[in-house]
Amino acid sequence: MERVAPGVYKLALGTLEEHTPVRHRYVAALPSEELCDWPDNLGELFGEERIGFRASDRGCVVELPLEEGEHLFGFGLQMRTIDATGKRLWMRVSDRPDTELGDSHAPVPFYVSTRGYGVLIDTARYATFYLGGLGRLDDRGAVSEPADRAGATSTDELYASRGPAGRRVVVDVPTAQGVDVYLFAGPSLIEAVRRYNLFSGGGCLPPIWGLAMAYRGLNVFGAKETLKVARYLREHDIPCDCWGLEPGWQTRSYSCSFVWHPERFPDPDAFLAQMSEMGYRVNLWEHAFTHPESPLYGPLKPLSGDHRVWQGLVPDLSLPEARRLFAEYHAKEVARPGVASFKLDECDNQTRTQPWSFPELSRFPSGMDGEQMHSLLGPLYQQALLDVYKPSGQRTYGLVRAGHAMAAPLPYVLYSDVYDHRDYVRALMTAGFSGLLWTPEVRDCKSVEELYRRVQTVVFSPLANINAWYLKNPPWLQIDRKRNNADDLMPERDEVEAVIRRLFELRMSLVPYLYSAFAEYRFLGLPPFRHPVMDHPEDPNTYGLEDEFMVGRDLLVAPLFAGEHERKVYLPEGGWYEFHTNQHYEGKQTITVTAGPERIPFFVRAGAILPLAEPVTHITRDTVFRLTCRVYGPGTHFARLFEDDGETDAYERGEYGWVRLDWSQHEGGSASREGHAPMRRYEVVGYELIDAR
Ligand code: GAL
């Protein structure tokens, strides 16, 4: 076992494959000092002898220990499985993640344990994880020999011997003759996650505008229609920073030409200038499949796979030359000033009966096959487009439909075409175990109440996106798709718009808090959105939670779903204050909260200082957030806010600082600055003590 970073160990088993997530990583592991702070418990938990391995014609198998009472979480973005203990999960990339099988836009062969460690199987194969329960013939003691069940009178008795067999994790990796296994020390579950994120290169730090509101217009909108809705948002003071153009901006979109459409956008530069005058950054939809009419087609053809998707090439973006061509073309022709980010669609896979994507049997010039490419296309595609922004030092924050391991530093957020609200919340909760981000984007809705509930969830997510790609008007003017597109707007639209504006403003007031949570993701590997078990692995009451999550260190969000006005919330250890009512609750109990359709229940940790900004409609270079700091509970408290230019990579050269907020009962509040922030982004206008006990 080789120690590759403090608390990170590698075990090379068998004959290794060339194309794996770690080998194709974009960012190097963060300097080791960053990983040093905490004790390393791995030696106590694992010895090499506890890890089994064998290879055969089928592929290879890795076996890892699983103790009584131990619970496992992770496996990337999962919509149906949170506590994975006792289950079987298949790490197959798919655009249908709404199953228990493990299929996902971003399956990640990584898990963490409540015993305080993490395991990464470094493979781009569709590995299957058996997380306990596999009974082998030579297991002693685990299964009782057949007893006489003839006298059984109940189903329980009859099936009594079907209980859990061998306690171990078994990973079946098809095709590969070997894998690297990475082990991440704790000492606690969250430190294992942090080590994994730091080993991936640290979390991403979005530009600050990326944490504001985002909106995407109808797929066939041209400049005229886009400007109309963009103006409406400004005139109605509805916050929005990022505007997304869907497929219609290109001459060909299935597959893509990467050429601006001459009728819809006769003068792209003039259009982009008008958008930026109004304070919008533009995001462009595309996928990597390259249409025969694209100027990139000729150069990319020899660097592509042997199957087409929608007539287009599948460029082998693992090849530096393909990546260079792709990025340079985008930088020159596509990402003109004002284009701040991209939405990378359809880089996952289609696993139903009529596949649109390339088959697993595809061959690529790098030597990859289709299975490996499905796993790695999402990350490779993100890497290619990051190279567009690298020379200018501008940060970007985009959308992507596929991810895999080592993704934490990639500033892209996952989304889906499936649309179940509860699935969306589970995805938000699971993504954080494996260095992923997820947006529960809002589209059309069956009721106004559903719209409110979905918007409430999206404002507490990494990217607050309204994806109106099939709606002519914003969904709050008409929730129904057909009527919306017929301009038949809802009679109560003004009222609905006012509620939506308030929810967007809530998001805007949280931007400084969120930005600082992301800075901790960047430097400390601490996921900004996370399942409560991450902070409380010793509390089994958190294991089964499927609909409440932490945002940063101090907020616990408990979304409601259409048709519900009340719900149960488990509050972990500590004290908590419900944000709207200021009501105080002791932790380690399940409470019932009620909230009308316009409010989402969320709780602030006792001891926190929550800086709330006066909402702005959009963030400019010079925006200074005016903060009211809410102080929760008696005693002395402190909080930190990250401060930098908000949009370039200068922070990587040390151009950033922290604003330290302090509060004590006797002296009141104060703010002080540390570091080298190039500008002042926050002005504290006051402190407000909340303690209704
Ligand atoms: C889908 C994507 C949607 C939207 C649509 C446009 O693949 O998931 O969000 O972009 O394409 O055609």
Per-residue pLDDT at 164 exceeds 90? no
8 Å CB contact between 75 and 330: no
- At residue 48, the pLDDT reads 73
Q: Residue 162 C-alpha to ligand 1 middle, in angstroms?
A: 45
Closest by Cα among 123, 137, 187 to 166: 137
User: Where on the phi/psi map is residue 281: left (φ > 0), alpha (ψ -120 to 50), or beta?
Assistant: beta
**Is any atom of ligand 1 closer than 6 Å to the C-beta of 219?**
yes
Please identify which residue in the block is written with the tokens 């692995």. Answer: 537
- At residue 165, the pLDDT reads 54
Q: Which residue's CA is the closest to the ligand 1 atom numbered 5?
A: 469
Q: pLDDT tens across 560-579, in order?
A: 999 999 999 999 999 999 99
Q: pLDDT tens across 343-365, in order?
A: 999 999 998 877 899 999 999 99
Q: Residue 605 C-alpha to ligand 1 middle, in angstroms?
A: 38
Distance CA 171, CA 88 (A): 10
What's CA 514's distance to the chain center, in Å?
14
The mean per-residue pLDDT over the stretch 52-72 comes to: 96
Query: Relative to the CA of 346, which ligand 1 atom is closest?
Result: 7
- At residue 29, the pLDDT reads 85
Q: What are the tokens at 372?
A: 């490996």
Q: Residue 284 C-alpha to ligand 1 middle, in angstroms?
A: 12
- At residue 151, the pLDDT reads 63
**Is any atom of ligand 1 closer than 6 Å to the C-beta of 541?**
no
What is the DSSP-derived secondary structure letter of residue 6?
T
Per-residue pLDDT at 506 exceeds 70? yes
Query: Relative to the CA of 343, which ligand 1 atom is closest?
Result: 10
Q: What are the tokens at 393?
A: 């030092």
Can you say whether the dihedral through the CA atoms of 376, 382, 383, 388 is positive or negative? Answer: positive
Q: Which residue's CA is the closest to the ligand 1 atom numbered 8?
A: 417
- Structural element, H or E, at residue 610: strand 609-613
Query: Relative to the CA of 253, which ligand 1 atom is closest?
Result: 12
Q: pLDDT tens across 297-349, in order?
A: 999 999 999 999 999 999 999 999 999 999 999 999 999 999 999 999 999 99
Q: Residue 581 C-alpha to ligand 1 middle, in angstroms?
A: 39
Q: pLDDT tens across 366-406, in order?
A: 999 999 999 999 999 999 999 999 999 999 999 999 999 99
Q: Around Cβ 22, how many Cβ atoms within 10 Å?
A: 17
Q: pLDDT tens across 76-117, in order?
A: 999 999 999 999 999 999 999 999 999 999 999 999 999 999
Q: Residue 221 C-alpha to ligand 1 middle, in angstroms?
A: 14
Q: Residue 292 C-alpha to ligand 1 middle, in angstroms?
A: 21
Confidence of residue 419 (pLDDT cuts 50, 70, 90): very high
- At residue 338, the pLDDT reads 96
Distance CA 433, CA 610 (A): 25
8 Å CB contact between 475 and 444: yes
The mean per-residue pLDDT over the stretch 169-187 comes to: 97
Q: Residue 93 C-alpha to ligand 1 middle, in angstroms?
A: 17
Distance CA 433, CA 534 (A): 8
8 Å CB contact between 671 and 643: no
Q: Which residue's CA is the closest to the ligand 1 atom numbered 12?
A: 247
Confidence of residue 162 (pLDDT cuts 50, 70, 90): low
Q: Residue 345 C-alpha to ligand 1 middle, in angstroms?
A: 7
Distance CA 467, CA 78 (A): 21
8 Å CB contact between 673 and 659: yes
Q: Which residue's CA is the closest to the ligand 1 atom numbered 11?
A: 345
Q: What are the tokens at 645?
A: 């230019």
DSSP 412-465: EEE--S---HHHHHHHHHHHGGGT--B---B---SSHHHHHHHHHHHHTSSSEE
When the pLDDT of each residue in the chain is averaged and rounded to a whole number, the result is 95
- Structural element, H or E, at residue 408: none
The mean per-residue pLDDT over the stretch 521-528 comes to: 96
Distance CA 326, CA 207 (A): 23
**Is any atom of ligand 1 closer than 6 Å to the C-beta of 356?**
no
Distance CA 530, CA 513 (A): 15
Q: pLDDT tens across 110-160, in order?
A: 999 999 999 999 999 999 999 998 888 877 654 455 555 556 677 776 665
- At residue 544, the pLDDT reads 97
Per-residue pLDDT at 66 exceeds 70? yes
Confidence of residue 255 (pLDDT cuts 50, 70, 90): very high
**Is any atom of ligand 1 closer than 6 Å to the C-beta of 469?**
yes
**Is any atom of ligand 1 closer than 6 Å to the C-beta of 289?**
no
Look at 590 and 160; give whichever has higher pLDDT: 590
Q: Residue 469 C-alpha to ligand 1 middle, in angstroms?
A: 7
